[in-house]
Each structure stands twice: as C-alpha cells, then as structure tokens.
Amino acid sequence: MKRILCILTAVLMMLPALAQKAEKATPLTQEEFLNQALTPPMGWNSWNCFHCNVSEEMLMGMADAMVSSGMKDVGYEYIVVDDCWQVDRDADGWIVCDPERFPHGIKHVADYIHSKGLKFGIYSCVGDKTCAGRPGSQGHEFQDALFYARSGVDYLKYDFCYKNRANSWNAYHTMREALKAAGRPIVFSICEWGSTKPWEWAEGIGHLWRTTGDIGEFWIKGDKKDGRLGVLDIIDLNRDLYPFAGPGHWNDPDMLEVGNGDLTYDENVAHFAMWCMLAAPLMSGNDLRSMPDEIHSILTNKEAIAVDQDSLGVQAHVSVEMGDKQIWVKKLSGDEWAVCFFNRSEKEWNLNYNMMDIPELEGGLYDVRDLWEHKDIGKTDRNVIATIPSHGVLMTRLTPTTVKSKGRR
Ligand code: GAL
C-alpha cells in the first residue's frame, strides 16, 4: 500500500510537468553549469553514519539539526541522501523511491529541506546498479536528471559501480549533459574513487571528484580489513593533487568522519583542519541530531572553515618536511596564508620554529593567529612556540602585518 502511495505521489508530482509537456526545460549553458560550487561544497551526507538505513524522517531530522546546531549559520548547506533511497523503476522507466522509508516521495523531502533554507542532494551510479545493488542510471541518465530537476534536487553524487567497462569520461560526460538538459543548477559530484585520475579530465564535467577509495572512521588503515582508508592515508594520497583544484573544480578526499568511530579528539581536529587546508568539500558524516559539544565545536570552527572557503580556492601543499612532522601552506586571498603544523608522529611535537624559514613566505612579516585557540600568538619575527599533540595540528592564519585586520578578530 505504502509503495502504491509512493508511486502515486511520484506520478502526481509529475502531472504538472506532463500537462505542460510542450514547455520544455531550458537547458543550462556550460557556463551556467560551471558557475556553481565556486567554493568547496559544505553539507552532510548519510553514508558514513547510516549506510542503507536512510528515511525521509531521518533526513528531515538532520535538516532540523543542521539549522538548530548552528551548522547552517557557518556555511553547511546540502543534506545529501546517499545510496539506498531507490528500489525500482516503474513501467515507464522512472526511478522509484523506497515506499516504506520515503512514504511521501523524494520531492516532499526536498521541499522540507528547502523550507529550512538548505539544499538537497541525492545519489546515483553510472552502472545499471548502484554499489549497494539498487537501480543505477545506466541508460536512464536523461530521465533521471529530469526526475532530479522536477524533484528539486540541488546536488548529485554519482558513483562508479556495475559500470560494464564504461569509459569514465563518457559516463560522467553523459550525466553532465543530462543535468544541463534538465535545466536546474545541480552540483555534480563525481565518485569514481580516483580510479581513472579524474583530476586530469573532470574539470568542466563535475564540480568535485573523489580522489581515493572510501574513508573509514579511523586514523590509518592498519589492520582493518574492509579496504577503507584512514584519515592519514587519504591526506597522503591528496598531497600532490593541489595543482588540480580551484574554484568550481575540487579534489574530494571523501566525506568527513569527524565524530565517528575510533578517532580521538586530536585526530578529529587534525582531520577537519587538514580537510580545510586541502580546500576539500566539507560533507559532515556524523549524526547531527546527537553530537557531543566537542564534535560540534570542531565542525563549526568558523576560522578553520574560512580557510577552506577562501575565494582563491587554492589547495595546500607541503612546504617543509622534517620526518613525520610537516608544515603545510595554503595561499589565501588578500596576501594571507594558512600554515598548518601537522604532527603525524606518535609523540608530542615541542615546536620552537622560526616561520621566516618557510620559503613561500619570502621573509615577510605577518601577524600569526592560532585558529583553534582563537588567539593571536605573535608575529613571524619571533619563533612560534607550542606543544602539538601526537596526530594533532597547530593551524594558523598569517596576515601581513601592515594590513589592518578585516574584522575577523
Ligand atoms: C561507494 C562510495 C561511498 C558510498 C557507497 C554507497 O562506492 O564511495 O561513498 O556512496 O558507494 O554504496
């Protein structure tokens, strides 16, 4: 019965569009399509915490929590349902949502999320099945894109399972064309796990592309046998990809595991700080409805988020390396820099360092601010002294001393 209701809702939803069948969607131009995600997308995705256990009730609760927790106020925007919302196709080929879990249909969820001032994202796959074995988009790309546009979808994550040897460029190019034809601005998130080096071909096709296999809620892969990567593994795999990122086209080191699993407080901070340094999409993956204060304070650190969202859109690179201690630098707009001391080791790092030794700063004089303590800690003409915990960071922002502060203090 519920299933019939769900199909009925979907059909009803399409009636106006069918009635005006002469009124075709106005396709987006390539420029309109590209003019999205000029800073890394921020939001929440269901997969890391819920896997296939998704429902309209849960997604709407997450939208409520995104607003009430203040995450919306610091820039989080998308609520994305990952795999398992879909169960079938109807006789005309339209995708059918799970009637038990989405009794009011997908548009109902999108409308609710929009009513909260947020945006809605959905998931599909290049192949005829998704990675969890649900119906994929192969052969239905234009129809699915139309369904997304009519449902009010703002973001599509597009996976790479069951692809029958599909060429990745063709597969993602086809869906990009379908999204443009459907006429609604939809951010296009490519998820082929870095398997065909999307950083070399995906600019202009998608707005972000996964660079690696799936992230796990742990620091390093170690003896975990499920094939997922740890936070540190993923940082290393993204290290050399900085030339490929920029406004509207981002390397995606996968969704955040902040607040999930085995990560310690310091590791959660380092994970978030490094994603900000990498100009990564910030898609939280924890249960926003019940997050501890400590996790909330990490996810809503405005000064760290400002580094991620800087309009220059530069991804950090390693400037100085001293064994398992690294100094990452990210150029920001207005001649500012983010500098992150990253302690990968198992011991504390007793830092006593002259920042003038960082080549990119060319000996300039900067005010230094600690972005986790929210304190000014001196100028670059004096050594910075700090204790950085194992698997921790000291993340700083450098402002040229001659430039007056811009109201962020
Ligand atoms: C994987 C993808 C994950 C998640 C999962 C769903 O391929 O990397 O992020 O979307 O599929 O089945």
Q: How many CA atoms lie within 13 A of 251 on its CB side?
A: 28
CA 386–ligand 1 middle distance (angstroms): 39
Q: What is the largest CA-CA distance in the chain?
A: 72
Q: Is 364 exposed, middle or buried (0-12, 13-18, 19+ CB in 10 A)?
A: middle
Ligand 1 atom with minimal separation from the 132 CA: 12
pLDDT of residue 21: 46
DSSP 180-233: HHHTS--EEEE-STTTT-GGGT-BTTBSEEE-SS-B-SSSS-TT--SS-B-HHH
Task: Give the Å distance between the CA of 282 and the centre of ligand 1.
Answer: 16
And the tokens for 122? 């959905």
Residue 16: pLDDT over 50: no
105 contacts 59 by C-beta, under 8 angstroms: no
- The half-sphere exposure of 38 on its side-chain side, counting CA atoms within 13 A, is 5
Which pLDDT value is given to residue 24?
77
Distance CA 343, CA 323 (A): 10
The number of angstroms, rounded, from the C-alpha of 75 to the middle of its chain's C-alpha atoms is 12
pLDDT average, residue stretch 322-328: 97
Interatomic CA distance for residues 284 and 286, integer angstroms? 6
**pTM for the whole thing?**
0.93
- Separation between Cα atoms, residue 285 and residue 38, nearest integer Å: 22
Give me the catalytic one of 111, 214, 236, 266. Answer: 214
Residues 6+ apart with CB under 8 A from 196: 168, 169
Annotated catalytic residue 159: yes
Q: Where is 149: in which H helix or E strand? A: helix 141-151
Name the token pair of 302.
């405005």
User: Which tens digits make up the pLDDT trace of 135-174?
Assistant: 999 999 999 999 999 999 999 999 999 987 779 999 999 9
pLDDT tens digits for range 340-359? 999 999 999 999 999 999 99
Q: Which of 83, 163, 217 to mutate to test the pocket of ligand 1 (most atoms within 8 A of CB)?
A: 83
Average pLDDT of the chain is: 94
Residues 6+ away with beta carbon under 8 Å from 402: 365
**Catalytic annotation, pick one of 98, 144, 159, 254:** 159
Mean pLDDT of 311-332: 98
Going by alpha carbons, the residue nearest to atom 1 of ligand 1 is: 131
Residue 56's pLDDT band (boundaries 50, 70, 90)?
Answer: very high
Tens-digit pLDDT profile for residues 84-126: 999 999 999 999 999 999 999 999 999 999 999 999 999 999 9
- Ligand 1 neighbours, Cβ below 6 Å, are 47, 82-83, 130-132, 159, 161, 191, 193, 214
pLDDT band at 404 (very low <50, low <70, confident <90, very high): low
The alpha carbon of 366 is separated from its chain's Cα centroid by a whole number of angstroms, namely 31
Nearest CA to ligand 1 atom 8: 214
Which whole number is the average pLDDT over 388-394? 98
Report residue 142 CA to chain centroid gap. 25
The pLDDT of residue 262 is above 90: no
CA 159 – ligand 1 centroid, Å: 7
Give the number of the atom of ligand 1 that is nearest the alpha carbon of residue 131.
12
Q: pLDDT tens digit string along 212-252?
A: 999 999 999 875 668 999 999 999 999 999 999 999 999 99
Q: Which atom of ligand 1 is nearest to the CA of 160?
A: 7
pLDDT in tens, 121-144: 999 999 999 999 999 999 999 999
Q: How far is CA 188 from the centre of its chain?
A: 11
Q: What does the alpha-carbon distance between residue 357 and residue 52 come to, in Å, rounded to a whole number?
A: 49
For a mutational test of ligand 1's pocket, the pick from 168, 191, 254, i.e. the residue with the most ligand atoms closer than 8 A to its C-beta, is 191
Task: Give DSSP secondary structure letters for 29-86.
Answer: PHHHHHSS-SS--EEEESHHHHTT---HHHHHHHHHHHHHTTTGGGT--EEE--TTSE
Candidate from 47, 80, 255 with most ligand 1 atoms within 8 A of CB, to mutate: 47
| Residue 29, amino acid | T
User: Which residue has the least CA distance to atom 9 on ligand 1?
Assistant: 214
Which residue minimizes the CA distance to atom 12 of ligand 1? 131
In ligand 1, which atom is closest to the CA atom of 82?
Answer: 10
